[in-house]
A and B are shown apart, each in its own frame.
Chain A
Amino acid sequence: MKVLHSWLRDFAPIELDAVALGDVMSDLGMAVEEMDVLGEGLDGIVVARVLDLRPHPDADKIQLVDVDAGDGEALQICCGAFNMSVGDLVPLATLGTTMPNGMEIARRKLRGEWSNGMLCSPPEVNLPGDPSGILLLPEGLEPGVPLTEALGISADVLYDLEINPNRPDAMSVAGVARDVAARLGLPFQLPTPTIATTGPATADLVSVEILAPERCGRFTARVLQGVTVGPSDPLIANRLTLLGMRPINNVVDASNYLMLELGQPSHPYDLATLGGAGFRVRLANEGETITTLDDVERTVTTADLLICDATDVPVGIAGIMGGADSEISDATTDVVVEMAWFERMPLAKSSRRLGVRSEASARFERGVDPDGIDLAQDRFVELLGGVGGGSVGSVSQGLVDERGQLPDRTPIEVRPARVNAILGADLSPKEMKELLDPIGFTTELGAEGEPMRVALPSFRLDSEVEIDVVEEVGRMYGYARLGKTMPVSSLSGHLTRRQLERRRLRSLLTGLGLSEAAPMPFLAPGDLERAGLPGDGITITNPLVAEESVLRTSLLPGLLKAVRHNVGHRNEGIALFEIGHVFRRPMDPDAELPDERETVAVIVAGADATAAVEAWRTVCDGLSVPGADVANAEMPGLHATRSGVVRVEGEPVGAVGEVDPEVLAAYDIPGRVAWLEVDLDRFLAHPHGEPTYTPVSRFPSSDIDLAFEVAEGISATDVGSTIERAAGDLLGWVRLFDTYRGEGVRDGHRSLTYRVRLQARDRTLTDGEVGEVRQAIIDAVQAGFPAHLRG
Chain B
Amino acid sequence: MTMMDELARIADDARARLAEAPTVDALDEVVRTTLGKKGSLKGLKRELGRLDPDERKSVGQAVNDVIDELQAAADDRRHDLERAERTERLQADRLDLTEVMAGSRAGHLHLVTQAIMELEDVFVGLGFTVAEGPEVETDHYNFGALNFPEGHPARDMYDTLYVDFGEPGHTLLRTHTSPVQVRVMETTEPPIYSVMPGRTFRQDTADATHLPVFHQIEGLVIDRGITLTDLAGTIDRFTKAYFGGAFSSRLRPSYFPFTEPSAEFDIIRPDGSFLELGGCGMVHPNVLRNCGIDPEEFSGFAFGFGIERLAVTKAGVDDLRELITNDVRFLRQF
Contact = CB atoms under 8 A, between A and B. Distances in A.
A166 B255 contact: yes
Given A366-B153, A539-B163, A467 B260 contact: yes
A165 B134 contact: no
Given A493-B193, A495-B124, A506-B113, 5 more contacts: A421-B225, A422-B282, A479-B252, A539-B163, A565-B326
7 contacts: A31-B254, A467-B260, A487-B230, A506-B113, A519-B326, A520-B324, A581-B199
Contacts of B126: 493
A510 B138 contact: no
A495 B125 CA distance: 11
A694 interface: no
A28 B285 CA distance: 23
B129 A516 contact: no
A581 B201 CA distance: 13
Given A422-B227, A491-B191, A513 B233 contact: no
Nearest to A468: B260
A479 B259 CA distance: 15
B108 to A, nearest CB: 5
Contact of B261 (A352, A423, A571): A423
A583 B325 contact: no
Given A423-B227, A522-B213, A348 B323 contact: no
- Residue from A516, A542, A581 with most neighbouring chain B CB atoms (10 Å): A516
Closest 6 CB pairs of A and B: A424-B227, A29-B253, A424-B229, A510-B107, A164-B255, A562-B326
A593 B236 CA distance: 37
A138 to B, nearest CB: 36
Contacts of B236: 484
Contacts of B263: 479
A498 B29 CA distance: 73
Interface stretch (A315-323, A526-534, A572-580, A762-770): A572-580
A503 B197 CA distance: 14
A523 to B, nearest CB: 12
Contacts of B166: 592
B237 interface: yes
A513 B331 CA distance: 12
A574 B328 contact: yes
B233 A484 contact: yes
B149 to A, nearest CB: 8
Given A485-B229, A506-B113, A509-B107, A515 B332 contact: yes
Contacts of B48: none
Tell me if B's interface is mostly helix, strand, loop or mixed.
mixed
A410 interface: no
A423 B203 CA distance: 36
A487 B125 contact: no
Given A164-B255, A503-B117, A506-B113, A421 B173 contact: no
A167 B255 contact: yes
A586 to B, nearest CB: 9
B124 A493 contact: yes
A541 B173 CA distance: 11
Contacts of A516: 107-110, 113, 331
Contact of B127 (A483, A493, A514): A493
Contacts of B123: 493
Contacts of A421: 225, 227, 299
A471 interface: yes
Interface in B140-177: 149, 151-154, 156-157, 161-166, 168, 171, 173
Contacts of A581: 134-135, 199
Contacts of B254: 29, 31, 164
Contact of A573 (B105, B157, B165, B227): B105
A510 B123 CA distance: 25
Given A422-B261, A422-B282, A544-B204, A513 B105 contact: yes
A548 interface: yes
Interface in B304-330: 323-329
- Residue from A346, A365, A518, A565 with most neighbouring chain B CB atoms (10 Å): A518
Interface size class of B (residues with CB under 8 A): 35 or more
Given A352-B156, A424-B228, A596-B134, A540 B106 contact: no
Interface of B: 104-110, 112-113, 117, 120, 123-130, 132, 134-138, 149, 151-154, 156-157, 161-166, 168, 171, 173, 191, 193, 199, 203-205, 212-213, 221, 223, 225-230, 232-234, 236-237, 250-255, 260-264, 282, 284-285, 299, 323-329, 331-332
A511 interface: yes
Interface of A: 26-29, 31, 164-167, 344-346, 348-349, 352, 365-366, 421-425, 467-468, 470-471, 474-475, 479-480, 482-487, 489-496, 499, 503, 506, 509-522, 538-545, 548, 551, 562, 565-566, 569, 571, 573-577, 580-581, 583, 585, 592-594, 596
A499 B226 CA distance: 28
Nearest to B300: A487
A492 B156 CA distance: 38
B110 A513 contact: no
Contacts of B221: 487, 489
A541 B139 CA distance: 14
Contacts of B204: 544
A31 B264 contact: yes
B300 to A, nearest CB: 9
Contacts of A166: 255
Contact of A492 (B110, B127, B284): B127
Contact of A487 (B223, B284, B327): B223
B227 A566 contact: no
Contact of B162 (A423, A470, A542, A592): A542
B327 A482 contact: no
B262 A540 contact: no
A465 to B, nearest CB: 8
A480 B250 contact: yes
A528 to B, nearest CB: 15
A595 to B, nearest CB: 10
A513 B329 CA distance: 14
Contact of A486 (B161, B233, B327, B328): B233
Contacts of B299: 421-422
A613 B21 CA distance: 61
- Residue from B117, B138, B260 with most neighbouring chain A CB atoms (10 Å): B260
Contacts of B199: 521, 580-581
B193 A489 contact: yes
B92 to A, nearest CB: 32
A26 B252 contact: yes
Contacts of B132: 499
Contact of B106 (A470, A499, A510, A594): A510
A481 B32 CA distance: 99
B173 A540 contact: yes
A592 B324 CA distance: 30
A493 B163 contact: no
B279 to A, nearest CB: 11
A542 B161 contact: yes
Contact of A596 (B124, B136, B234, B331): B136
A565 B325 contact: yes
A518 B253 contact: no
Given A348-B153, A565-B327, A581-B135, A510 B120 contact: no
A571 B253 contact: no
A542 B203 contact: yes
B248 to A, nearest CB: 9
Nearest to A508: B107
A551 B156 CA distance: 23
Contacts of B162: 540-542
A515 B328 contact: yes
Contacts of A352: 156
B173 A27 contact: no
A26 B229 CA distance: 19
B152 A345 contact: yes
A423 B237 CA distance: 18
Nearest to B225: A421
B82 to A, nearest CB: 34
